[in-house]
Amino acid sequence: MARLKQLELAPPGKTLVMDVLQQPPSQAAVCAQVNCPEVATEVYLSLLLAVDAECAQAALYLDTLAHRLNLPAGLVTQLKLAAEAESAGATRSVA
């Protein structure tokens, strides 16, 4: 939750992510609430930062979510790289 507060999300994206984290709905329910590409990107990135993307089950969930949100493959790659950089920076600042 602390990471979510650090992100500069638009209110609809933040509300949706908070709902997902507190009581995870199905992917279909999440995708049904996403009404524009910007919110789709924010939802995907927020979940990417919130889960352990190295876990096979989480990685599969994220890949399926990206597909259902119709995120372009190039954008997904950029978001994953940004999340890795964010994670590496957070790890360095703690050490």
Percent of the chain surpassing pLDDT 70: 85
Give the whole-angstrom CA distance, residue 82 versus residue 21.
21
Contact between 43 and 34 (Cβ < 8 Å): yes
pTM tops 0.85, yes or no: no
Is the pLDDT confidence value at 67 over 80? yes
Q: pLDDT tens-digit profile of 13-39?
A: 778 777 777 776 788 988 999 999 999
Highest mean predicted confidence (pLDDT) among 2-6, 17-21, 45-49, 66-70 = 66-70
